[in-house]
Amino acid sequence: MVDMKGTQLIHEYLRHNKKFPHVFCAGCGHGIVLGSLIRAIHGLGLKKDEVCVVAGIGCSGRLAAYVDFNTVHTTHGRALTFATGIKMAKPGMHVIVVMGDGDSMAIGGNHLIHAARRNIGVTALILNNNIYGMTGGQCSPTTPSGSFSMTTPLGQMEQSFDCVELCTAAKANYVARGTVFHVKKLDKMIMEGISNPGFGVVEILTPCHTQYGRKNKYKTPVDMYKMLKKDVIDIERYNKLSEADKAAKTPAGVFVQKDESGLEEKFYEMAARCQGGV
């Protein structure tokens, strides 16, 4: 691995022929995820041709267009289905799926739990900003109870999904939660997710000031990052808290780490045995 920093990584991994600027608002966390993803891929020493970034629809979906890998910008919620096809067809490819919270848990909820269940060897980065950003600030399945959005002007009355618990219950190989405030940890989680042979999920808490923050008493983007700093704590520290204190905090870290082989590996092993003339 060649040692590269800052702008060198940008020149190496961002597309030169893409019409910049990007779509992310000032203060958005998605760009930090993009940086983290590039550092993780560079850190693992993966060849560009062997990386395929598949994205869904929404602000997070646009991320794929900027990076110089094989990139597929798919339909709303269905990115995992395309990724499954690509991984089955090309098991050697490192397939990384970038989705938002509404993308992965509302319209694509079924695909998420089944990708986890069948343990297909792709890595899902779920950029959770608790809101539909690009569509204009409607509530998502992770919008916290009581918070406001364009479609919950009286406050959200539904419960929100816990992405980590959902993916753990659906038997994903690797489940982690990071934030765009704790970037070094996030780099490591994405690297571990990509290296895992089965289905890896990294939920990334990334603030959306434009659509979520300003309706929910976060006056500036900085307030939202301060919230991440204050409220998101490491899983070990979280477990030591009393039940009452837990309610106000969100645990982050690695929740599940198994080493089961991915579906594509199992399939081709079985196929090789069949073709061997049994």
Partner 1 sequence: MARPRKKRNKEIFALGNEAVVEGALLAGCTFYGGYPITPSSEIMEIMAQRLPLIPNGSFIQMEDEIAGLGSVIGASLAGRKAMTATSGPGFSLMQEHLGYGCITETPLVIVNVMRGGPSTGLPTSPAQGDVQQARWGTHGDHSIIVLSASNVQECLDNTIEAFNLAEKYRTPVILLIDEITAHTREKIIIPNPDEYEVFNRIVPTMPPEWYKPYEETVRGVPPMPAIGSGYRFHVTGLTHDTNGFPTSRPDEVRELNERLFRKIDQFLHDVQLVDEVDTEDAEIVVIAYGTVARSAELAVKQARDLGVKAGLLKLSTLFPYPRKATERIMAKANTLVVPEMNMGQISREVKRVNNGQVSVRTINKVDGQIITPAEILKVLTRV
Q: How far is the CB of 89 from partner 1 (least distance, A)?
A: 4
Q: How far is the CB of 20 from partner 1 (least distance, A)?
A: 10
- How many CA atoms within 13 Å lie on the side-chain side of 160? 19
Is 59 within 8 Å of 100 (Cβ atoms)? yes
Q: Which of 78, 185, 188, 209 binds partner 1 (CB under 8 A)?
A: 78
Q: Which is nearer to partner 1, 17 or 242 (CB)?
A: 17
Q: Is 21 a residue that touches partner 1 (CB under 8 A)?
A: no
Q: Which is nearer to partner 1, 230 or 268 (CB)?
A: 268
Q: How far is the CB of 150 from partner 1 (least distance, A)?
A: 23
Q: Which is nearer to partner 1, 18 or 230 (CB)?
A: 18
- Mask of contacts with partner 1, 37-56, x by CB under 8 A? -----------xxx-x-x--
Q: Is 218 a residue that touches partner 1 (CB under 8 A)?
A: no
Q: Give Cα 36 to chain centroid, integer Å.
A: 11
Q: How far is the CB of 99 from partner 1 (least distance, A)?
A: 13
- Residue list 84-123, contact with partner 1 (CB under 8 A): 84-90, 92-93, 110-111, 114
- Residue list 221-240, contact with partner 1 (CB under 8 A): none
Q: Is 81 a residue that touches partner 1 (CB under 8 A)?
A: yes
Q: Which of 68, 162, 260, 265 binds partner 1 (CB under 8 A)?
A: 68
| Binding residues for partner 1 (CB under 8 A) | 15, 17-19, 48-50, 52, 54, 64-65, 68-75, 78, 80-90, 92-93, 110-111, 114, 263-264, 267-268, 270-271, 274-275
